[in-house]
């Protein structure tokens, strides 16, 4: 039964990542956490991004460069010439807000078959699993 439960959860996760219509995953998959951090903050250095998101500095650097190339973020010089502050651009804010809206619409569609009571029960059960589950899988 556990395998069936987890299989359904994984299928739901995959469904939620697909774009409506073409079935392809969103562009820049994996950069969402960086965009979310920058969207809600006042800018960070690449080192701060890597530390806050617990990713390798090289991964943060590659992601920031890709986001810069697309115009979603920009690097601003700081007093310490060795570091730049990474800030989200207006284009990045608009793009991020659009992705959030699309995600929320996908989530709503995925959960449409459930009643409000079933949604509350599902939420309660998932929170219980997340709060009480052992990290080592036992």
Residue numbers of the domain that contains 15: 2-132
pLDDT at residue 24 in the model: 46
Query: What CATH number does the domain containing 90 carry?
Result: 1.10.10.10
CB 67 within 8 A of CB 73: yes
Residue position matching structure tokens 């409000």: 116
Residue 137 lies in a domain: no
User: For the segment 87-110, what is each residue's pLDDT rounded down to a tens digit?
Assistant: 999 999 999 999 888 888 888 888
Considering the chain, what percentage of its residues have pLDDT values greater than 90?
41
Q: What is the pLDDT of residues 34-67, one digit of tens each?
A: 999 999 888 999 999 999 999 999 999 999 999 9
The count of domains in the chain is 1
Instruction: Using CA atoms of 86, 84, 57, 32 in order, give the dihedral in degrees to the nearest 10.
Output: 10
């Amino acid at each position: 039964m556990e395998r069936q439960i987890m299989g359904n959860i994984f299928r739901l996760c995959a469904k939620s990542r697909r774009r409506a219509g073409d079935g392809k995953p969103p562009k820049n998959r994996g950069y969402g956490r960086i965009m979310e951090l920058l969207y809600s903050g006042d800018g960070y250095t690449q080192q701060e991004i890597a530390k806050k998101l617990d990713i390798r500095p090289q991964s943060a650097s590659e992601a920031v460069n890709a986001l810069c190339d697309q115009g979603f973020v920009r690097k601003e010089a700081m007093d310490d010439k060795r570091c730049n502050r990474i800030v989200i651009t207006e284009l990045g804010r608009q793009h991020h807000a659009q992705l959030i809206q699309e995600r929320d619409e996908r989530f709503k569609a995925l959960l449409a078959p459930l009643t409000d009571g079933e949604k509350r029960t599902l939420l309660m059960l998932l929170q219980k699993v997340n709060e009480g589950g052992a990290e080592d899988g036992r």
